[in-house]
A and B are shown apart, each in its own frame.
Chain A
Amino acid sequence: MAGLRPIKFRLLELFSDEKEHWNNEIVEQMQKEYGMNSNFGRDSLNFDILELASGGMLRSVESKVDEDGVYKKGFLLHKYVITDFGKTRASDACLMYV
């Protein structure tokens, strides 16, 4: 796993295209990249996204109930977008924003 950056750095990087992303899509991609394919790995990645959101770096713009069970059936899915504060912190972490 050479060259991987800390998980939250990578999460901010994925959001730094300023597009809106669903949490389940991001989690799925991260699971592949970091080889965290267990349920524990999935929940722990989702928790990292939650932490970024509560820290004000991501903002939830849309939510829907996971009717089809693409992530966890009956739970809420969130669509997030990076905030200005998130961009600042991302550039602190030497990501692409300058």
Chain B
Amino acid sequence: MDIRELKKLENKRKMNKGYMWALFCALLWGIWYIPGTIIWAVPPFDAMWINIADPTGAGTYESATAATLVVAVLISAFNALTVIIALLIWNGALGKFGEMKRTLKEFHPCSKWFFLASIFGGPMAILGSFIAIGFVGAGFAAVAALLYPVIGSVLAYYWYGEKISKRAALGIFVIIAGGLTIFVGGALAEISAGNIAWIGYAGGLMAALGWGIEGAIAGKGLDIAEPDVGIAIRFIGENLLWWVLIVPAVALAGYPIFEYAIAAFNPLSILVLAFAGITFGFCYVCWYKSFPLIGVGRGQGIGNLYGLCAVIFMYLFLAQVPAWTVLVGGALCVLGSFVMISEETGDMESLRGE
């Protein structure tokens, strides 16, 4: 084999590795919606919702919207907490604490990007997802966020000139068509039933925007940082946002959020939250690892298969039967991802224009 062939092979191997990471991300992300749904029914979160929604006990549930929002905040905060525990163990196992300290010290050139990413990824995307789960349902929350690669790839293209080939653009387009089929199908059914949960749909939109912006910002920070370290720093940032700013702010607004936070330290809730932390933490590790290898647009595109994974897992484990629009949309998502994967990548050496 001559050197050109070897080079092509090596490049191909690199791209395949990137696609593999992105695919793992999709699987883990899809699984995450299981604990993300169950947690609402686990003590103390179930009692928390009822007590805030119906403070007089009259069964009128006059504050149901506020209750769902406050519970979503506490669940998101705990999600961030268990994710950072999983990520610190991961970085410890890889022996990367030294690198983490070095990267943290370089706030201005480097770690500021990860803190910025945590704002969009955390209080925007993850809270938005939990709001969508709480108001509409996990299946909807999963597919609503499917639109995030559009935002991610367009931003990456205009901001730092990341190449998007025609093939990749076509794949992204098909995936979006699939996402829209699922999204619009659900919304239409609710509108015809005369009862649409607008806040839940806004949550879905927050998730799509937040994750798209996060991906593009993270790509910028990853230029000069290691992914495992970068993602851990991003979640340190998110934990600070939740536990130093948002949770205390909710408590100051008069909601008993700290009482329920302490009550959350019971075996069942720890088990479910740990499940969420492990799946979400490692889904993020895989996501970030794929970006430098295949680029933000493609990484997010393949990661998008999570929508389909989530629908399958919700059906298998929680017996939530998908509507036909979900099945058609899911099929389109798979098709779009294959359009992207089947691209000939042997000649592609760099993802950026010079």
Contacts and interface: CB of A to CB of B under 8 A. Distances in A.
B partners with A: yes
A7 B98 CA distance: 10
Contact of A50 (B14, B110, B222): B14
A84 B223 CA distance: 14
Interface stretch (B73-81, B190-198, B344-352): B344-352
Interface string B101-140: 0110010111000000000000000000000000000000
B292 interface: yes
Contacts of B353: 56
B10 interface: yes
Interface in A8-58: 8-9, 12, 34, 44, 48, 50-57
Interface in B309-354: 349-354
B221 to A, nearest CB: 11
Interface string B143-164: 0000000000000000000000
B350 A59 contact: yes
B253 interface: no
B186 to A, nearest CB: 38
Interface in A62-98: 63-65, 76, 83-85, 89, 92-94
Contacts of A5: 102, 106
Nearest to B229: A6
A5 B98 CA distance: 10
A38 to B, nearest CB: 9
A87 to B, nearest CB: 12
A1 B99 CA distance: 11
A94 B351 contact: no
B103 A6 contact: yes
B225 interface: yes
A1 B352 contact: no
A65 B6 contact: yes
B226 interface: yes
B10 A76 contact: yes
B235 to A, nearest CB: 18
B136 to A, nearest CB: 38
B351 A54 contact: yes
Contacts of B10: 76
Contacts of A83: 354
B7 A63 contact: yes
A93 B7 contact: no
A8 to B, nearest CB: 5
B106 A56 contact: no
B293 interface: yes
A65 B5 CA distance: 11
Contact of A93 (B222, B224, B229): B224
B3 interface: yes
A52 B98 CA distance: 20
A12 B351 CA distance: 18
A89 B3 contact: no
B110 A55 contact: no
Contacts of A4: 98, 102
26 contacts: A5-B102, A5-B106, A6-B103, A6-B106, A7-B102, A8-B224, A8-B225, A8-B226, A9-B109, A48-B226, A51-B292, A51-B293, A52-B223, A54-B351, A55-B222, A55-B223, A56-B352, A56-B353, A63-B7, A65-B3, A65-B6, A76-B3, A76-B10, A84-B354, A92-B224, A93-B224
Closest 3 CB pairs of A and B: A56-B352, A51-B292, A93-B109
Interface of A: 1, 4-9, 12, 34, 44, 48, 50-57, 59-60, 63-65, 76, 83-85, 89, 92-94
